[in-house]
Amino acid sequence: MVQISQITFITITILILIAGLSSSFVTKNNSEDYLLANRNISPFNIGLSSFASAHSGFMYTGFIGFSYFHGVYAFWYIISWLIGDAIVWMYIYKPLREISQKENSNTLNRFISVQNNKTEKTLLKSTSILSFIFLSVFAGVQILVASKVLNYLFPISTSVAVFITGATILAYCLSGGIRASIWTDSIQAVLMLIGLVVTVNLSLTESGGFQGAYQTLSDSFPQLLSWSNNQVLISVIIFFVSLIINGMGVVGQPHIMSRPMSINSSKNIKIAAIFYFSSYLFFSLLAMLAGILARIIFPDLSNIEAESALIKLSSQLCSPFLLGVIMTGMFSCAVSTADSQIISCSSNISEDLLNPENKKHSFTYNKLSTLFASAIAIFIALSSSQTVFDLTLITWATLASCIGPGVILKSLGKSVSGKEYLIMTIPAIALTLAWKYYFHLDDQFHEAAVGLPLALVIYYSMKKFKYQYSK
């Protein structure tokens, strides 16, 4: 029997899909329009789209799961990411927008690889391959998040849910490229915020309001009220600094950096930032609160189950209609990130690796590359066994280590050759992965905070050595 929540979910999802497909009526058959919407998106849409792409699926699942176990300590994640992100908005986005247009760079990799008005082919190919590998994993994670919603609402297997999610994302991507993604992001961002507001409000009522929730936490889960997570102050400060660098890791995320490249004017970046940071701060604080309240209502969830805490809260506390709205918000937010990542993956192939001379062929290659990238992401989603939190953080960190240094250096007017870039980034990626999977130190110092700085230290060391040698 079809339930009200299922009907609500299907209806809203179809409406969002129609909104995305409608972008095809204004889409022009060229690569710049497909990848950057002819650099003509309003600051309002850029702000909301950047928020939805950067913080959607992870906040709805991984961050709520983290808050479930660590309580108010999660607040330091919010503030440190905000600081790191703000540094990038202030110093990187404007030169990125202006230089990429001046050099006619439609992708982040091409932006990095144009050095002294010439394309460094080694640099272009290496950044494209690295970006494709790690961004495909990232997209697979988001498909996995969305499939959990379908899994819960409908009597279908995980595999079927993954394929349906992949098909939905593919429809967005093929209809209007980045424009379809940004248009639907704006709708999805509103749904995400509504869903969390409703769920947190009902969870607070269920927990006895703020006073009742605080009393329960004090009696049963006092560790969730510890701002230091029961660690010494110096450990908290070190971890906080590492998270600021992690926030700066946004410079290595092609699906997010394509947003400022698409804005209608670099002068409007400050306006977009207002929409972005207000949405991010409001949403992340609600997500933290949802995770803490879920611990009161469902005290014995495992790591994997905690990432579905919002689904559990909604199903127990909401009416069928509201449940459908919230589930649509969860599904949409993951889709909004995944479609942006898949478009970025496809551009790695069509624009950066193949780069056909005939622009008509270029647009066709974009579409074919999107199909290929979607297939890879679906395969990764089917094969994944780690939590969303862990997979999101490690893919974010590796992209920050291999793409971030190039964006920072280019935006600061520094030049780097293909060989120098490989010397910088290969050790950075290796250290990032080893930091988490071999040394297991990511709980003390975030892995993104070792790879990105290491690459920059290697770069400036090489330049200093060359200068001294030339003297």
pLDDT one-digit tens code per residue, 42-101: 999 999 889 888 876 778 788 999 999 999 999 999 999 999 999 999 999 999 999 999
- Write down the pLDDT at residue 452: 95
Number of domains in the chain: 1
Domain boundaries, position 78: 4-470
Q: Given a cut of 90, is residue 350 above it in pLDDT?
A: no
Kindly report, residue by residue over 106-150, the tens digit of the pLDDT: 999 999 999 888 888 889 998 999 999 999 988 998 898 888 889
- Write down the pLDDT at residue 409: 95
Question: DSSP code of 41?
Answer: B
Q: Are 96 and 111 contacting, i.e. CB atoms less than 8 angstroms apart?
A: yes
Q: Collapsing DSSP states into helix, strand and coil, what is residue 119?
A: strand
* Tally of residues, the chain: 471
- Write down the pLDDT at residue 467: 54
Q: What's the whole-number average pLDDT of the chain? A: 88
Q: Is 207 left (phi over 0), alpha (psi -120 to 50) or beta?
A: alpha
Q: Are 288 and 69 contacting, i.e. CB atoms less than 8 angstroms apart?
A: no
Q: Given a cut of 80, is residue 25 above it in pLDDT?
A: no
- Write down the pLDDT at residue 1: 41
**Stretch 149-168: mean pLDDT:** 90
Q: Given a cut of 90, is residue 433 above it in pLDDT?
A: yes
Kindly report, residue by residue over 236-254, the tens digit of the pLDDT: 899 899 999 999 999 999 9
Distance in angstroms (rounded) separating the CA atoms of residues 80 and 223: 21
Q: Is residue 13 very low, low, confident or very high in pLDDT (cuts 50, 70, 90)?
A: confident
Q: Is residue 265 very low, low, confident or very high in pLDDT (cuts 50, 70, 90)?
A: very high
Distance in angstroms (rounded) separating the CA atoms of residues 407 and 430: 20
Q: Given a cut of 80, is residue 176 above it in pLDDT?
A: no
Look up the CATH number of the domain holding residue 289: 1.20.1730.10
Distance in angstroms (rounded) separating the CA atoms of residues 414 and 409: 5
- Write down the pLDDT at residue 442: 86
- Write down the pLDDT at residue 3: 85
Kindly report, residue by residue over 267-322, the tens digit of the pLDDT: 999 999 999 999 999 999 999 999 999 999 999 998 888 988 998 999 999 989 98
**Stretch 161-166: mean pLDDT:** 92
Lowest mean pLDDT among 66-75, 153-162, 322-331: 322-331
